Homo-oligomer: A and B are copies of this chain.
Amino acid sequence: MKNKARTARSDLDAILAAGFVCHLGVLVDGTPRVVPTVYGATADALFFHGSVATPSLMRAPEAEVCVTVTHVDGVVLARSLFEHSVNFRSAMVYGVPRLVENEDEKLEGLRVVTEQAAPGQWDYARRPNRKELAATSLLALGLNEASVKVRTGPPDDAGSEDAALGLWAGVLPLHAVPGAPVPDPALPEGIALPPHLRR
């Protein structure tokens, strides 16, 4: 995908804030593995569950990982196929993740992960007990090393000789849209959808 690098810190923050699923790249036996997982971001770090990072990451916590968050905003339809592209926003964060062992920091990290995917649930659902907290491994990755790429706008060949072909060109936007909440079929009658999920 053609793209432009962005260096403003605000671009990184906005991309991380706009999603909750990242693709985590780790080394397993010398080859790359890419695993989707939920994450949460603060101003300083990105948190994700360690268990998804495969046992090899937990065995080698000093290994560098790459976490990539991508939003696909549209398909760019140019006059030539060569100029076809995708409008997107993507952030790659690199570094050596740190296992979060302090219980308070772990709870705060889990809150950040939860609230990013499901705002309002931290105060609504039952919080992790001691046993659950011990069974959860949480990793923190600093935001010091990151690379941001963004493509926006129409195709790039309006000024080329292909414009004379008289073909339609533009962008087909794509949106991630939430549907209506689907109750658990096992839910007893009379339990109303809480206000924070009605938004």
Contacts and interface: CB of A to CB of B under 8 A. Distances in A.
A55 interface: no
A158 B186 contact: yes
Contact of A121 (B67, B81, B94, B122): B81
Nearest to A175: B177
Contacts of A125: 77-81, 84, 167
Interface residues of A, number: 86
Interface in A124-140: 124-128, 132, 136
A31 B27 contact: yes
A162 interface: yes
Copy number in the complex reads 2
Interface stretch (A4-12, A98-106, A189-197): A189-197
A192 B26 CA distance: 47
Given A158-B186, A172-B181, A174-B178, 15 more contacts: A21-B86, A34-B67, A35-B92, A36-B68, A79-B125, A80-B132, A81-B122, A81-B127, A84-B118, A84-B125, A86-B117, A118-B172, A168-B197, A169-B187, A175-B178
Interface of A: 1, 20-21, 23-27, 31-38, 52, 64-68, 70, 72, 74-75, 77-82, 84, 86, 88, 90, 92, 94, 110, 114, 117-118, 121-122, 124-128, 132, 136, 154-155, 158-159, 162-163, 165-188, 191-194, 197
